[in-house]
Structure 1
Amino acid sequence: MNGTHEGRERLLLVDGMALLFRAYFATSFTGSIRRTSAGIPVNGVHGFVRYFLDAVKRFGPTHVICCWDMGSTTFRTEQFSDYKGNRPDAPDDLKPQFDLVKEVVDSFGIPNVGIVGYEADDCIGTLARLHSGAADVFVLTGDHDMLQLVNERVTVVIMKKGYGNYAVYTPSFLLEERNLTPAQIIDLKGLMGDTSDNYPGVKGIGEKTALKLMQEYGTIENILDNLPQLSKSIRAKIEADLDMLHLSRDLATIRCDVPLELALDQCLWKLNRSTVETKFDELEFGSLVKMIG
């Protein structure tokens, strides 16, 4: 397995919202949503469990933590009020599943972690930094922003379309596939912005130009030191948007110093089968029992 060291602990950090949303939308587009006999929608939770258990089987963690966003107000919305301002409300059928999915995670004996004022990404970054000395860390997500966390001890596993498909990012795979280092992921976002998070970067600079600048100059500082070498139009765009360039880079930076402490021994992966089966019975997930082995 990439990025692992023989005999070391292995920590799986799960981006809970990424899995839940992916699971919900992968099934809801058909128009028929899985419900319990009492009518409670559970399609997202059902898919979450399938994705999660497949990843456990594939990456074999000794420890697991699941991280969540805690509402839409964070230090980033204080810095930039439009941050994620383009996100629609969660669909009505998804809303009751936010609490249900955490109950399922509880039944697995896994800590649910979230800190008000921060995003799940920041909790994941902090926990990765905290525990990568003692464990090989795997981050399970669909969010390419997380690639900035990659290092020799932290592997980012991006869920791809279709069930059980992953892109496994180590520093060498990131370099090979994108010709970028983890730190350059942040600078790239500073330049081009992020439409899904609703911050603009430098107006008029898209991914292609941003990548070209990163390949040529390596960092935003280096680009700014070499402004006279740039084409007139690119130089003008950057000079007109310097404040937004710095703000966008800051918004893109995952914080790894969130006030959060969780000892490794509090998140041992050790299923209590009867607890899980009780929860699965309640949600009418009979077909998933065989996945818990």
Structure 2
Amino acid sequence: MLSKLLIVDGMALLFRHFFATSFSKQFFYNSLDLPTNGVQGTIRHIYKAIEIIQPEKVIITWDMGSETVRTEWYENYKSNRPAPPEELVPQFDLVKDVLAELDFYQVGLKGYEADDLIGTITKHYDDSVIISGDKDLLQIINDDNELWLTKKGYTEYDIYNLNRFTEEFSITPHQFIDVKALMGDSGDGYFGVTGIGEKTALKLIQKHQSLDHLLENLDTLTKRQKENILKDYDHLILSRRLAEIITDVPINVNDVIQYSDYTFNLDRTLQVLDKYDLTIAKRYVEGLDL
């Protein structure tokens, strides 16, 4: 029987917990005069997930900068996002340093996003839980994994498995790529087709099964839809490429899996959290049943 694998979208948690407290200027500076609010929230979230899921393996995945293959395909990809706040910047390295000393296996690859690493790993592993806030990952759901979308605090998730996805959307996860192509993603800085939002995009793929088939049957669409698709055709094709998670990132998946075994050690954990003066995370971990 395979060991259960927990895969965490590290950047998603870091941003989530930074902004959860930064709006009220609670940055939790430590004795080294470093802001730690995002780091402490991320650590608390990971340990609570371990308590809930009880995995034998844990992998933390990271984006590795803004320059990726997608910015090569489209220079404006994610260019609409503001620069990170100055209090968040030092926490990018700090969180990785702390997690490394806590013996978590971390992986990132320049040119690729965390989603691509997650897609590649889950393609080769049969019992995994993914924690993220990114609905783009719905496209990689299969019989052997679950996507736990962060919802509230450290314990509430919107959990998707294959059955729930197909019942809710009436398409396959892979078809979700074509839905994304049509609707675009304003958060990532690209549009699909003018006038086509999520509901319309979903209905079109439910009816036509694929973007290719839809494009072969434009005469079945409304006049406005046909005109907009023809007008935005080049961007639509680009949007499909941008929306699709890469599942063949050049990493050694066998090594990643092999070295991701995780065993909780309370004394070691508390030592590390003391070293970095992460008192809030320390108190939280002490109260968990790990």
TM exceeds 0.5?
yes
Query: Which of 215, 233, 250 is the equivalent residue of 1:242?
Result: 233
Give 1:269's match in structure 2, choosing from 241, 262, 269: 262
Q: Find the counterpart in structure 1 of residue 166 from structure 2.
A: 175
Q: Aligned AA for 1:216?
A: K
**What is the CA distance between 1:38 and its match in structure 2?**
3.5
Residue 151 of structure 1: aligned partner: 142
Deviations 1:163-197 (A, max 9, x none): 31111111111122333321121111100100010
Q: Which amino acid aligns with 1:280?
A: L
Counterpart position of 1:282: 275
Instruction: Kindly provide the amino acid, as one letter, of the partner of residue 283 in structure 2.
Output: S
The CA distance in 1 between the partners of 2:37 and 2:289, in whole Å, is 18
Structure 2 residue runs without a partner (length 5+): none
Using the alignment, how far apart are the partners of 2:48 and 2:167 within structure 1? 26
The answer for the alignment partner of 1:59 in structure 2 is 53
Q: CA RMSD in A?
A: 1.5
1:205 paired residue number: 196
2:175 corresponds in structure 1 to 184
Determine helix, strand or coil for the equivalent of 1:102: helix
Q: Contact 2:141/2:147 (CA < 8 Å) preserved in 1?
A: yes
1:217 maps onto 2:208 in alignment = yes
The answer to whether the 8 A contact 2:26-2:37 is kept is no
Q: State the match for 1:4 in structure 2.
A: none
Between the aligned partners of 1:14 and 1:119, the Cα distance in structure 2 is 13
Once the two structures are superposed, the pairs formed by residues 133-148 of structure 1 within 5 Å of their partners are 136-148=127-139
1:120 to 114, 117, 120: 114
Q: Deviation per CA, 1:57-101, whole angstroms, max 9, x where unpaired?
A: 111111011110111000100000000001111111111111111
SS in 1 for 2:63: coil
Q: Quick check: 1:251 aligned with 2:242?
A: yes
What is the distance in 2 between the residues matched to 1:269 and 1:111?
8
| Partner in structure 2 of residue 111 of structure 1 | 105
Instruction: State the TM-score, normalized to the length of structure 2.
Output: 0.93
* Letter in structure 2 aligned against 1:267: S
Return 5+ residue gaps in structure 1 as ranges: 1-6
